[in-house]
A and B are shown apart, each in its own frame.
Chain A
Amino acid sequence: EVQLLESGGGLVQPGGSLRLSCAASGFTFSSYAMSWVRQAPGKGLEWVSGISGSGDRTYYADSVKGRFTVSRDNSKNTLYLQVNSLRAEDTAVYYCAKYGGIAVARATNWFDPWGQGTLVTVSS
């Protein structure tokens, strides 16, 4: 069974940093691109970032570019999101999800499955 388990969320002050992790199991991790999607309280889903299966290509939403960094360790089957310079509007549940193939591309542009999410709260 494919499983994704996020961790690393918590309460952080504005301007602070966190590293989110997503542990994957049940599939060949390096053969799939991975994504981060977030959802602010009571709001809709927002795609945040994607990374290719090898980790050599990364992509970001404009809202987080320059502040967030996605990476992966294929030897540990783990995806990461380093979130810096946090703002109140970054408060959200952060989900990791598997793309449909090894690349971030049109034909692989779906997210399945999703983890249960980890909550990041930015507040003083």
Chain B
Amino acid sequence: QTVVTQEPSFSVSPGGTVTLTCGLTSGSVSTTYYPSWYQQTPGQAPRTLIYSTNTRSSGVPDRFSGSILGNKAALTITGAQADDDSDYYCVLYMGNGISVFGGGTKLTVL
């Protein structure tokens, strides 16, 4: 069974740039998986950041960007701010109506 992988944790300094990735235990992620990305803070519902690989959801600042880097989907945060300290999840479309989330990345801004 193919699993969607994310870094369990990452840290970035305020103002810095960080790239989180979303891969597969078997195979490469491409645009055909239509990756999307979500931000979640404790006790809150997820917020949509990026869909269809690189389209920002309404109201999302342009310091969040999505791409394919090598064989993974990527979420890049440029100029990290304190309120970016959150959990980040990717989801991939696996075919036949099935979506699979990655395990999430806990991003610390310090």
Contacts and interface: CB of A to CB of B under 8 A. Distances in A.
Does B bind A? yes
Contacts of B19: none
Contact of A50 (B33, B47, B99, B101): B99
Contacts of B48: 110-114
Among A46, A59, A106, A116, chain B packs the most CB atoms within 10 A around the CB of A106
B21 to A, nearest CB: 16
Contacts of A106: 32-34, 93
B99 A109 contact: yes
A1 B26 CA distance: 40
Contacts of B57: 110, 112
Interface of A: 35, 37, 44-47, 50, 57, 59, 61, 95, 97, 100, 104-107, 109-117
Contacts of A35: 99
B14 interface: no
A102 B36 CA distance: 17
A3 to B, nearest CB: 12
Contacts of A44: 87, 89, 101-104
B34 A107 contact: yes
Nearest to B99: A47
B52 interface: yes
